[in-house]
Structure formats: structure tokens, C-alpha cells
Structure 1
Amino acid sequence: MARENSKELPSSSFVEKGTPGLDTEVLDVGEQIQRIASECPPFYRNRNLFILYLLMIPGCLVPAITLGFDAAMMNGLQAVPSWDDYFNRPRGSLLGIMSAILPLGCVLATPFVSVVGDRWGRRVGIIVGSVIMVAGGVIQGASVHIGMFMASRFIIGVGIVFANAFAPMLIAELAHPKERQVITSLYQTSWYIGAIIAAWVTFGTFSIPNEWSWRIPSLLQAAPALLQIGGVLCLPESPRWLVAKGRAEEAKAVLVKYHANGDANDEFVNLEFEQMRGIIEAEVNNETGWKAFFDSPGNRKRLVIIICLGVFSQWSGNGLVSYYLVRVLETVGITESRDKNIINGCLMIFNWITSVASAFLTARLKRRTQFLTSGFGMLAVFTAQTLCAGLFNERHNIHAGKAVIAMLFLFYFFFNLAFNALLYSYPVEVLPYPIRAKGFSLLMFFGKASNFINILVNPIGLQAIGWRFYLVYVAWLCIEIALMWKFFVETKGPSLEAIAALFDGEHVKAEKRDFIKEKGEEKEE
């Protein structure tokens, strides 16, 4: 059977209207591949695939680790007396700028993300980001004044956006379809690994009676990126990128080695490769640009989802706790540095456990179920947290103050359910290959821009109105739930053709049939 013009329909891609290269096999091959993939042995029985997943740990998880490290480190440093004294007790807008300067670097670097990844590959994108992060971490640890400290954080932000865009993409494009959803969802859980390390490092160093109490954790922020430079060199390049660059044989060799444990005659890999080559070669020839996000109703819907994911991942109230937990704890009477650091460390351990559990739940729960459960849960908890903070501050209710601490843990349980587990895996399902790198660039832009605004505004709000600032997030979470209900599409369960129809409309089916008919007539002539 001739599959050269087949169109790829993996679980993470959709048929786009008017795309050439579609034949009658397409409607069956996607489901056939999914069926065979589900019957493949688990990864731990495929030696090469098991090694691939192990290599992903140092090669791809570092960007999220660095982001988590940064958030917990900035939380912890605010409870370190020597750091507070060295930089003249930064509060309000100055504290906001010190934290927000990192996502500002991310925002300004996003226009170059897709250019690097599409032209030179996913691995080069990760390496570029890692080198920049190492430089930033070294400068941060050697800072002699507040300007140098902020400049170093800006540099780290520039590096993070490259690595953070391409690491989950490389994971998704290398992983076996049988485990792709869970493996990609596990990527963001490493955010909490970095946070745990930073939280307990700052706890261990805060009592050092000199500048090393904050320089040690600041320098350590460069260590994960240094590890990643070596780790990513041990990983293969994305087979989809290789196909797009005309290196199809190299792409097939990657699939054979890791998805079939070296068996070149494996039926699944041959189907997977032919389908991959068919869709990518057809669509890459169309030179898909940024305008594609506005060309069809389906792509416009995808654009709305990507924007919502980026914004919601930062504006759900998590940014308030991630960077300003110390200030939040002060609103309920927790003032001892040791207590603040212990709570910070314990919260990050709890978050890692719940985020890993949420990642595995993606194999069972529907996407809309996860998102809406997360939204309603966060709203309920934040409302209760606001009420308890009010009772503590207005009526001096000690028990209500302690309840706020419990609410912090409960809030992150619901946040992690969707916005940790699905932040990068859902876009992989939503975005087809030709616009995937550009889609991730947009996800990074809106996520980091939202983070920049959020980090900048939070300390000002806390300083100005204290616990009443929580009411802003209660109102915003109501808006998030409404938008998720309206726009978020279910991508788990339906057939691939049905999922494409959810984005592009039922008329796509008719257009496919017309296109197939036209191709058949051309062959007869």
C-alpha cells in the first residue's frame, strides 16, 4: 500500500481543513496505530525505551526544576535576614520587580523561541536556554548590589523560556504513544522538585551569619542547567523535526531504536513512521506561518485555549503563594523565619506528591473534568481562605489563621490537578505539528507575561490592602471557570476525526470526502 501521501493522525494531532496529501487510508490508519500502541508492552519491558525515559530526566526536566527552584528560593530568601539586610529590606513594588524581572526576560525572548527550535532543532533550543541559565545563575550568586541581582534574574528568564518551550515538546515527540500523555504530564511535576530543593536549601542556609546564607542557593540555581547541557546531548533529536528537515531515514532510525527496541520490521513503527512522514511533508510544504492561527475557526479556537492556559496557569492565585508565601503567612501571624521556611518546604513536598498523582490521573480522567474540577475546587478553597484570613485579622480568631495554612495545601491540590498536569500535555494534543512550536511560543509568552504582571502586582496589593487582596482572585477564578466551560475542548476519548470536528466543525468531514473524491478522479485520469 502506498503511504507516501498519508496524513499523520496521532493522538496529539488533528486534520486541518484543506490540507493536501490526504487519501482514504488516513481515516483508518490513525485508529489502527492507536489500537496497536495500546497492545504494545509497557516501557519497562522495552530496554531502549526505558533508557530513553531515564535520559529525559537530566535532559528535559531542568527548565521546570529551575522555575520551581526560583519561586521557592525567592520565597525562602525573603525569610533570610542577611539577604533582607543586604538589599535594604525590599518590599512592595521593589520586591515585585525583583521577582518579576525573571518572567520579563522570558517575555522578551519568546519571539525567538520558534525560530531556534524550528530551524536548528528541539535539542539546540534546550542547550541555548541551558547555557544562558548557567550564566545567569553564576551572576546571581556573585551579585554585589541589587541591580546586578536583578540583571542576573533577567538573564535566567531569557534562558528558561527556550528550554521550557522545547523540553516538553521533545518529550512528547519522542515518547511512545502508549505513555505519551502521562510522560508529558509528568514534566511539569519537576517544578516542585526544584521548589523542594530550594525550600530546604534556604532552610539549611538561612541561619548562616553572613552573605553565604543567600549566595549558596543563588549559585545553586545554575547547577540544574549545567546538568541539562550534558543530559540533552545524550537524547536523540525529535523524529518529527528530522522528517520536517528532510532527514526521514534518521527519524525512522530513532523510532525503530526506541519504539520497537531495534526491530526494523515492527508493524507499529512502520505505520507510525509512514503516517508521520505523510502529514509533516505535506504540511511543511505549505509553509505554515503565524497567520495560520487566524485562518480557520478551529485554529482560532486553539489560539483561545493556548492564551487561556498561559494566563490561568499564573493568575489562579498560585502566583501569590509561589513567590510571596512569606508575606501571605505574615497576614495570618506567622512571623518566625524558621516556621516560614518549614511551611515552605512542607508545602512543596505536598505539591510534588499531588502533581505526580494528577499526572497519572490524566490517563483516566477526561480533560474538561480535570479543568473544571480544578477551577471549582480552587474557587471554593480561595473563598474559604479569604474568609478565614478576614476572621483572623478583623476578629483575631487564632483558629481561623491556622486554617489559612491548611487552605494553602488544599488549594494546591486542586491547582495541580489541571494546571500542573495538563499545562504542557494538553497543548500537545491541541496543536498539530506545523503550528506546535509557534503555539508553545504563544503559551510561553502569555504565561510569562501574566506571571510578570502577577508578580509585580501581588506585593503591592498585599502591602496596600493585606488579606482583602485575596478577593481579587476569588472574582477572577469565577471568570476562569466560565471561560473553561465555554472554550476548552475534550480531547480524550472521541475518535480523531471527531476531535478534529470539535475544532473545525462538521463541515470538515464533507471537505475530506470531497478531497478524497477529487484525488481518486485525478488518479483515474
Structure 2
Amino acid sequence: MADTKLESKKKFEHVASKEDAEISDIDARLQELAQAAPPFYKNRNLLNLYLRIIPGCLVPAITLGFDSAMMNGLQAVETWISYFDNPSGALLGLMTSIIAVGAICATPLISLLGDRFGRRWGIWFGSAVMAVGGILQGASVHISMFLISRFLLGFGLVFANTYAPILIGELAHPKDRQVATSLYQTSWYLGAVLAAWVTYGTFNMPTEWAWRIPSLLQTVPALVNMVGMFLLPESPRWLIANGRAGEAKEILVKYHADGREGDAMVELEYTEMKRVIETDMATKTPWKALIATPGNRRRLLLLVMLGCFSQWSGNGLVSYYLVRVLETVGIASRSNQSIINGSLMIWNWICATGSALLTARLRRRTQFLISTAGMLAIFTAQTLCAGLFNEHNNKGAGNAVIAMLFLFYTFYNLAYNALLYSYPVEVLPYPIRAKGFAILMFCGKASNFVNVLVNPIGLEAIGWKYYLVYVGWLVVETVCVWFFFVETKGPSLEAIAERFDKPGSESKRE
């Protein structure tokens, strides 16, 4: 009996090993054909698709970036300060962080909407709710209405912000997927640049329009998104998972092969996509699937860490409370605060775009390690300079803090902007992709809520010494990235899933 069991086990391992080898060969051939394909600008249909992705998918990140820089800018607008009776401390934290509360409340519904009705309708619904929130914010007549409007902005944002990068990753050509998905989050800074300079342009207005104009402009990106979504095809992977494989193949042929029937890469891509998705979808995938296997538990840990690290790296201080940070080093002029805010957002967009393009060359784990260790080094130096200014009135150290802000974001954007959504797209297989993104959004928005609520209290209570909290946390982040983050660069989305789940993979980082 023991011999029979041993023989069966060896036979099973032989079959599994053979299947793994076949999968590896298919993926290698797919990557070879993808790299040999002409660049996207020589494929008319693919270029057309990417141009339509701009109004159809990039806008959610623009809206979030607009909100962040706008709230920073409004803190330098005298009419906003007086209208809401000079909010500070916990109240200011609540006014800023309530957007994260809306996002947290929406996360249980994310996968239900997008998995049932499609990626595009998830984006459209989120954009519609954001548009309502923006209108209410611009029309606010008291603090309660302002808070409700920002809750709605967060509630809608999380739907659009989940399905936009997923749709990009599932539509993009295999050759362009890594860069295309990474470029999504760079549009956060386009919104931030726009908001920073709009508030700079309006902050001297003597009427309430100084803050109502930026608030109402927040509605514009959402309206663009609602129209742009109809210009895009649905995700081929969603179509396959919902019994519409023929439509999925038509989309792949049209955009990935420029309409050429029988293209070798598309045939291989479609076959592999269909095989993996239909196998995975043969059984239901409830929420408990996220912890059902070693591979999924590993993914879940990465999502939790990524969501927390993207908000708790010290970036929350500058993203929402730059005015307060600048005041700790003696920059009290409202005009100078607004100029620094606008200039920093332009620098961030340049760095974020460069970092997204680097994803085609750098390994994922390398980007995360350089980014996190770099932030630790810069934030430590920034804390030292802030201490020298406040304790010894060292003007040069105070000016150095401003330079450190720009250097800090250079390292932050390298990974936590460029890879924030492209990395989870690679890590998560199709059946749990939407649920995994819901976890990422919940952890990110919950971390953002705590972060944004606590930061003004900490700054008000102990000033520059509050930076020491982030120095300690960045040490924790660096250690976690080294030990737990895994490499995903190179293979197709389906092949990455196979690598994650095959026996013995849980012990490997590379």
C-alpha cells in the first residue's frame, strides 16, 4: 500500500512538473512574440486605444490628486479659513480625512459591482458619485454639508480608482502593460498641479469664490470620466469570465494585432488567458479565498503592507498639510506657501512619470527597496534640519527642509506612485483581482484616514519632533520590503499567478 501511494505521488509530481514546464515555455514564447511586436505608435488601433484610455481611465487619479493639493491650498485661503471658523487640529483632520471614510465604507461593494457588471461600469458609477460630491462641496453653506460632500467624493473615488488601473492592465498590450499601468498613478500629480495653481490663482479673491471655484472644478474630471468610459472596450478577461470569449478575442485581435486574424501572439495570449480564467472560475471565489491558500495569503500580506506603506511613509504630512510643515520652518507667507505647493506638484509629476517609465527596466523589488531606503535617509535628514532650525534658529537648515521635500518625493514616487496599482495587478490572478484591490483600497484609505486625522494633532502638539514617528516607521517599512516583497517583473499576468501558487514558491522572494 505504501509503495502504491509513493508511486502515485511520484506520478502526480511528474505530471505537475511537466505542466509547469509547459506553462513556462508558453509564457516564454508569449513574451518573445510580445517584445517582437512593433511599438504601439505603429499600431493604429492600439494607439487609438491608448489615447481613449486618457479620458476613460486616468481621471480618477487626477481627481484624488486635485483633492489633496486643493485641501493643501485652501489652508492658505483666508476666505475659506474665516468661512469655516479657522479649522485646526482634530477638526481640520476630520475635514481632510472624511474622504477616506467614504472610501472605506465603499470597499465591501467594489468587487460586487465590477465583477458583475464589468470594469467600465465600476468606473462610471464611481465617477457619477464623485461628480455629485464635487457639486455639493462647491455649494457648501456649513461644515456639515462640506463633510458630507467629501464623504461622497471618497465613496465614489474608490470604485473608479480600483477599476481604472485594472482595466488598463487588462487591456494593454503585453509589451506595454507594465509601463501603461504604472503611468496611471502619475496622473494623480496632474490633478495636484492643476489644484495647486488654481488655488494660488484664487487665494487672493476677497469672496467665497476663492474656495468655491476650486471645489466645483473638482467635478470636471469626473464628468470627463463618465463620457470617456463609453469610448473604451470592456476587459477581455472579464468577457471571458462571463461567457463572452468571442468578444474578448475580437478585442485582442483588433488592438493587440491591429486587426490581423490568426496573429501568433494573440492566439497564444487568448488561449492562455482562456485556459487560466476558465480553470480558476470553475469554482466560486468567496472572500475567504483570499486566505484559502499559501499563495493567496502571501498576496494578502503584500496588499496590506502596500496599502499601509503608501500612506504612512511621511507623504501624508506634505500631501495634505504642507502649509503646517512649512510653518515649522518659518515659511509663513501665504503666497510663498502656495508657490512651493504648486512647484512641488510639478516636480512630483516629472519624477512620477520618469519612475513609471523605469518600470520597463528595473525589477519591482529593486524599485521598492531603493524607494523605501531613500525615503528613510531623506526623512532622517529632514528631521535633523527641522530640529536645527527650531532649536538653534539655523536659517540654512530651515531652507534645507524645503529641498528635502523635493528629494523625499523623488524616492517616494519611484515605487509608491509608479507601482502602487501596477504591482497588485501583477500579483493578483483574475478571480480575486477585484477583491484584492478592495483590500488594497481599504488598507490604503484606512491608513490615510488615521494618518490625515492624526497628523495635524501631532504637528500642533509637538511640532517638528513629530517627524521622528515617521523615521521609526520607515525603518519598519524597509525591513518589511526586504523580507516580504516579491519579484513580478517579466511574465504575463497568468504566468505570474502560476508562479505564485506552485508548490515551494512561498519561500522565494525573487
TM-score, scaled to structure 2: 0.94
Task: Give 2:39's match in structure 1, choosing from 23, 42, 49.
Answer: 42
Cα distance in 1, alignment partners of residues 65 and 239 from structure 2: 31
Aligned residues: 490
**Structure 1 166/498 Cα, relative in aligned 2: closer, same or farther at 3 Å?**
closer
Partner of 2:338: 341
The SS at the match of 1:261 is coil
Q: Deviations over 1:5-51 (max 9, x none)?
A: xxxxxxxxxxxxx99xx697534222111110010000000000001
CA distance 1:358–1:172, shift in 2 (3 Å): same
Runs of 5+ consecutive residues of structure 2 not aligned to the other structure: 1-14
Residues 349 and 505 (structure 1 numbering): CA distance in 2 closer, same or farther, change over 3 Å? same
Match of 2:122 among 115, 121, 125: 125
Q: Secondary structure at the match of 1:189?
A: helix
Moved more, 360-369 or 124-133: 360-369
Q: Kindly tell me: are residues 502 and 263 of structure 1, through their superposed partners in 2, closer, same or farther at Cα, counting changes over 3 Å?
A: closer
Q: Which amino acid in 2 is paired with 1:272?
A: E
CA distance in 2, matches of 1:198, 1:498: 41
Aligned: 1:51 with 2:48: yes
- What corresponds to 2:348 in structure 1? 351
> Alignment partner of 2:85: what SS?
coil
Question: Residue type of the partner of 1:351?
Answer: N
User: Is 1:199 aligned to 2:192, yes or no?
Assistant: no
Asked if residue 271 in structure 1 is aligned to residue 268 in structure 2, the reply is yes
Once the two structures are TM-superposed, the CA of residue 293 in structure 1 deviates from its matched residue by: 1.7
Deviations 1:275-332 (A, max 9, x none): 1111111111111222222122111111100000100000000001000000000000
Could you list the runs of 5+ residues in structure 1 that have no partner in the other structure?
1-17, 510-525
On the 8 A contact 1:134/1:223 being kept in 2, the answer is yes
| Distance of 1:507 and 1:93 partners within structure 2 | 48
Q: 2:98 aligns with which of 76, 101, 119?
A: 101
Match of 2:218 in 1: 221
Describe the shift of the 1:238–1:500 C-alpha distance in structure 2 as closer, same or farther (beyond 3 A).
closer
Is the Cα contact below 8 Å between 2:64 and 2:188 reproduced in 1? Answer: yes
Residue 170 of structure 1 aligns with which residue?
167
How high is the TM-score relative to the length of structure 1? 0.91
RMSD (CA atoms): 1.8
Task: State how far apart, in whole Å, the 2-side matches of 1:96 and 1:44 are.
Answer: 45
Trace 1:234-245 onto structure 2 (pairs within 5 A): 234-245=231-242
Distance, in Å, in 1 between the alignment partners of 2:346 and 2:504 is: 48
| 1:242-261 to 2 correspondences below 5 Å | 242-261=239-258
Cα distance in structure 2, aligned partners of 1:44 and 1:499: 27
- For the Cα contact (< 8 Å) 1:298–1:503, is it kept in 2? yes
**Which gives a bigger RCO, structure 1 or 2 (Cα 8 Å, sep 6+)?**
1
Q: Which secondary structure state, in structure 2, belongs to the residue aligned with residue 385 of structure 1? A: helix
Q: Deviations over 1:330-388 (max 9, x none)?
A: 00011111000000000000000000000011111111111011111100110011011
Distance 1:127 1:501, change over 3 A: closer
Q: Is the 8 A contact 1:30 1:496 kept in 2?
A: no
TM-fit CA distance, 1:504: 4.0
Q: Which runs of 4+ in 1 moved over 3 A?
A: 22-27, 493-509
Percent identity between the two aligned chains: 66
Distance 1:196 1:496, change over 3 A: closer
Aligned to 2:387: 390
User: What is the letter of the counterpart of residue 313 of structure 1?
Assistant: S
Match of 1:430? 427
Change (3 A) 1:507 1:71: closer
Change (3 A) 1:443 1:496: closer
Cα distance, 1:262 vs. partner?
0.9
